[in-house]
């Protein structure tokens, strides 16, 4: 059965043992000493901090992507110009349309990247919080 390492978050097969083949640390929480539990908690808190930083970065990408999306849509509307008989005509060769295409493509990339990183950071934060909860020291 596949299992995630509580130290490095990589997936490994636990039928071959509880030792992660990537970081070579034991994943059996039942036979940990107090110092090993303390080191595990430090590792979990460091990974939660990195996931929180990734979440902040993802939210920044979402905000900037939304702003670029609005700016791109405004330039799309501006690329429709009036001709000599006062009709609105789409002009794809205009500077406004070029700026619109650039802004919309950057907005799409940033929004996709932001959503992807947000989902990954939420999953990792939940995982490490559950590891912390399951490995608390009993007093």
- Here the tokens at position 101 are 């295409």
pLDDT (tens digit per residue) in 49-63: 999 999 999 999 999
Predicted confidence (pLDDT) per residue in 109-126, tens digit = 999 999 999 999 999 999
- Those residues whose C-beta lies under 8 Å from the C-beta of residue 139, and which sit 6 or more positions away, are none
- Could you say which residues of the chain have pLDDT below 50? 139
- 25 and 76 part of one domain: no
Q: What is the pTM of this model?
A: 0.82
Verify that 73 and 107 share a domain, yes or no: yes
61 and 105, same domain (yes or no): yes
The strand pairing partners of 82, in sequence order, are 88
Within this chain, do residues 12 and 25 fall inside the same structural domain, yes or no?
Answer: yes
Give the C-alpha separation, 116 to 112, whole Å. 6
Which residues constitute the domain of residue 107?
32-134
């Amino acid at each position: 059965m596949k299992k995630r390492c509580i130290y490095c978050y990589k997936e490994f097969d636990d039928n071959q043992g509880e030792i992660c083949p990537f970081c070579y640390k034991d994943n059996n929480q039942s036979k940990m000493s107090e110092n090993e539990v303390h080191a595990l908690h430090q590792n979990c808190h460091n990974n939660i901090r990195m996931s929180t930083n990734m979440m902040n970065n993802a939210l920044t990408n979402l905000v900037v992507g939304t702003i670029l999306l609005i700016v791109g849509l405004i330039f799309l509307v501006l690329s429709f110009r009036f001709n000599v008989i006062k009709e609105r005509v789409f002009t794809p060769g205009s500077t406004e349309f070029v700026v619109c295409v650039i802004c919309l493509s950057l907005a799409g990339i940033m929004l996709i990247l932001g959503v992807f990183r947000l989902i990954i950071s939420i999953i990792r934060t939940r995982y490490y919080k559950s590891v912390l909860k399951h490995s608390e020291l009993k007093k």
